[in-house]
Structures are given as C-alpha cells and as structure tokens.
Structure 1
C-alpha cells in the first residue's frame, strides 16, 4: 500500500500541473482571439454598447479614470495596460 502511495502522489501532482498548464494556454489563446475580434470590430466601426460600458465611459468622462479602469478590469478581466487603453477609447467616443 505504501509503495502505491509513493507513486500515486507524484502522478496526481503531475496531472494537476499538466491540466493547469493547458488551461493557461487556452486562456491565453482566448484572450488573443478576443483582442483580434475587438480590433476587427473597431476597424469596422462597430461598438459594443452595454450598460456596463456606458457606466464605465461615464466614469472616465467625469474624471474618475481610476474607478473606470478598475470597473473595466473587473468586467473584462483585462490587464492594466489594456484596460487603460480601452477606457481612454471609451471616454473619447461621443
């Protein structure tokens, strides 16, 4: 029984690490695809207007950029640089 546990624990650890690394790769691929779709929509002049984005744009226009960036990051899961650029674009839209 002890020998089985000696082999079982490293195997479970390796499988967990393998699954986690695959999840991270898929997450990065999804993020790249979302970014590409955003670029295509921007090029076509199509804007996603949701109540959340309207509220974030309002915060940015009212001079509350930090709160707007924070809200955008919570909504999208983007990093700080991406969220800052997106909030600036939202604020510049009419």
Structure 2
C-alpha cells in the first residue's frame, strides 16, 4: 500500500495476518457441539500461525493489565484463583487455563 508515494513498512505482511484473524473469528463463530473438537484444533493452528506472523513482523500483542493480578495470585500460591482470573481474561476452558497458568508459573 502506498500513501503519498511512500510505502508503509510491514503492510504487505499485515494483510495475511488480518486474513488469518478473520478466518479464526469465522471458525470460532460457527462452532457446534458435534464439530467442536476438529474446529478447536484448526483454530489453535491458526492462532499459532498468527502468533508466528506477528513475531516475524515484530508486532506484540498488548498484555491485559489483569495479568499482573494473575502473577500476584501465583506469587501468593493461589493457583486456583489464578486459573479463574485467566479464564475471565481469555475465555479459555478449564484445561487450557490450567496449562497456561502452569506454564506461567515456570
């Protein structure tokens, strides 16, 4: 894309990211219980790809300020409360939230 004759850095790379994010949103909105697991796996692969593309371009996702609260809970040894906070922040399921909190504790 050009603006006033100047190319915007990284814009060519951001287009595929936008497409993947849109695809992930569409997949996430069409989930039915019987098709949930295969779509969850596809969505997870798309999220991984988006993360790789963002890292390649040097774009960081802003961290939710409530993650500091989660870290404080972990420092106090309150893992169950930390999992609850993680689920509130991300909308993750119980197993996914537990795994994420366990990784964050390391």
TM-score by length of 2: 0.46
Task: Tell me: higher relative CO, structure 1 or 2? Use CA pairs within 8 A at least 6 residues apart.
Answer: 1
Shift of 1:89: 2.2
1:33 matched to 2:46? The reply is yes
Give structure 1 regions of 4+ aligned residues with deviation exceeding 3 angstroms.
25-32, 37-41, 46-49
RMSD of Structure 2 on Structure 1 (CA): 3.4
Match of 2:68 in 1: 54
Which whole-Å CA distance do the structure 2 matches of 1:67 and 1:56 have between them?
8
Larger Rg: 1
Match of 1:5 in 2: none
CA gap 1:47/1:90 in 2 versus in 1, 3 angstroms: farther
Instruction: Give how far 1:80 is off.
Output: 1.4
Higher helix fraction (1 or 2): 1
For structure 1, list consecutive stretches of 5 or more residues without a partner in the other structure: 1-21
> TM (normalized to structure 1)?
0.51
Q: How many residues end up aligned between the 2 structures?
A: 68
Q: Give the whole-Å Cα distance in 2 for the aligned partners of 1:33 and 1:77.
A: 17
Gaps of 5+ in 2: 1-28
Aligned position for 2:104: 90
